[in-house]
Amino acid sequence: MSRILMVLIAALLITGLPTESILAQNSSPAFDVEQASRAYIDSLQGAELEKSNNYFEGGYWLILWGALIGILADFLILQSRFSARFRDWAERVTARRWLQPGLYALPYVLAGFLLTLPWTIYTSFFREQKYGLMSQDFGSWFGEQMIGIVISLIIFPLLIMAIFAVIRRAPKMWWIWGTGVISIFLFIGMLLGPVFITPLFNEYSDMPEGPMRDKIVAMAAEYDIPAENIYVFDQSKQHKRISANVSGVGPTIRISLNDNLLERTDPEEVEAVMGHELGHYVLGHTWRTILILGLIMAVGLFITARFAPHLIERHGEKWGVRSISDPAVIPILSLILTLYFFAATPALNSLIRINESDADQFGLDTAKQPDGFAKVAMRLSEYRKIEPGPIEEMLFFDHPSGATRVRMAMQWKADNVANPTMITPGDLEKE
């Protein structure tokens, strides 16, 4: 269940975009959108195209194997009766029923972490290194994993205590109130995460005064977005991907750009990225995402509330699980939810992809940098397949593909720029 929570929180994180360098302009009496688009798309060729496709397509299998490994971990915790032992330990420590689920969650989180650690090391470290997407050594990477576990050991017990309080008070309808509890935790995470969580992984410093900061402030002011807090964070120590975001709620709202964005891109590309990120804020994507994720979670908890009692009735004695209100049931709930969210992957991807597409359009209208946007979209081809088929994009892409984004940018250029010219991109990487 902790893995499901992290998936949901991860789904709320909305990434930025990428970049170019030296261009040659060719005037064209009649601007052809497809020809201009192909000039960008076809600039990715050979070994780089093959590496990008192999990395991203390999991720399709990771979705399946990740779900199976999560299910296996929960099954092992049940079958070994470790779940019952964790519950028994919590009951020995305290007689307070409201506290027992929180205590249970501590060894459960640690057990899940250890059981899935080999898979995590492969997918998040060695595989990233293999494709040249990792800047850290193993020690630095593992240190961040330890920080993540400490955070989970704080947040997950609180969440579990809240959910089991609901289960005890409303054993028939707990899935409705449980959805509300998870939504509240997501909101609190958005409120406090930028201030207390993200600085644990990166150092944030005020963006220096200058033309780029002035441009960002002006873009934000156009839509009454608070721009008092604009930060640069040192994500280059982890990888070279570019990123930016507008995060927080109310007093914690801040605009953040990673150092890769400023160091690897030209000003027009930074403007394109920031127009996109400001779009998420103006269009209310945070609230829309929480609402739709809440509905998706409600369906998942409803299914869980229907199937979990049958599993308890059939296997509860063997696993040492007494009832739905017994903390030892947590691996059963997690197992069902993992299956559900695996099946719901296309829906979750589409939710995020629609928001991203809307933000793309907003960014083009705001920054008015179609070629900067197209260059950024090509930069994402370092780790995203540039031109998938339509069904492939629908099922596996949580952002529009690079080809889709380039075509959107060139169509915007044709519709909004007087006498547009076609640009042939050179090497997008700065020297």
Q: What is the pLDDT of residue 286?
A: 85
User: What is the DSSP code (8-state) at residue 327?
Assistant: G
Record the tokens describing residue 192, joined without a space: 């406090």
Dihedral Cα 258, 264, 267, 270, nearest 10 deg:
-40
113: which residues sit within 8 A by CB, 6+ positions away?
149, 152
H/E segment holding residue 26:
strand 23-26
Q: What is the pLDDT of residue 342?
A: 96
Where in the chain are the domains?
2-425
- Are 274 and 216 spatial neighbours (Cβ–Cβ below 8 Å)? yes
Report how far apart, in Å, the C-alpha atoms of 261 and of each of 17, 43, 206, 385 are: 8, 21, 15, 20
Measured distance CA(213)–CA(234) in Å, rounded: 17
How big is the CA angle at 41 (ends 25 and 267), to the nearest 5 degrees? 55
What's the 3-state SS for 378-397?
HHHHHCCCCCCCHHHHHHHC
- Are 326 and 319 spatial neighbours (Cβ–Cβ below 8 Å)? no
What are the tens digits of pLDDT across the range 374-415?
A: 999 999 999 999 999 999 999 999 999 999 999 999 999 999
Record the tokens describing residue 215, joined without a space: 């441009």
Q: What is the pLDDT of residue 25?
A: 39
**DSSP alpha helices (H): ranges in 237-369?**
259-264, 267-282, 285-319, 330-343, 345-367
Q: What is the pLDDT of residue 283?
A: 94
What's the 3-state SS for 207-266?
CCCCHHHHHHHHHHHHCCCCCCCEEEECHHHCCCCCCEEEECCHHHCEEEEEHHHHHHCC
- Are 84 and 321 spatial neighbours (Cβ–Cβ below 8 Å)? yes
User: What is the DSSP code (8-state) at residue 88?
Assistant: H
Q: What is the pLDDT of residue 427?
A: 63
Record the tokens describing residue 283, joined without a space: 């269009």
Q: How many CA atoms lie within 13 A of 50 on its CB side?
A: 2
What are the tens digits of pLDDT across the range 230-276?
A: 999 999 999 999 999 998 888 888 999 999 999 999 999 999 999 99
Q: What is the pLDDT of residue 428?
A: 65
H/E segment holding residue 121:
helix 100-121
With CA atoms as reference, report the closest residue to 220 among 366, 368, 91, 373. Answer: 366
Which ranges of the chain have pLDDT less than 70? 1-29, 426-431
Pairing status of strand 23-26 against strand 422-425: antiparallel
Q: What is the pLDDT of residue 277?
A: 94
Measured distance CA(361)–CA(220) in Å, rounded: 16
- pTM here is 0.88
H/E segment holding residue 182:
helix 174-192
What are the tens digits of pLDDT across the range 288-308?
A: 888 888 999 999 999 999 999
Measured distance CA(346)–CA(152) in Å, rounded: 26
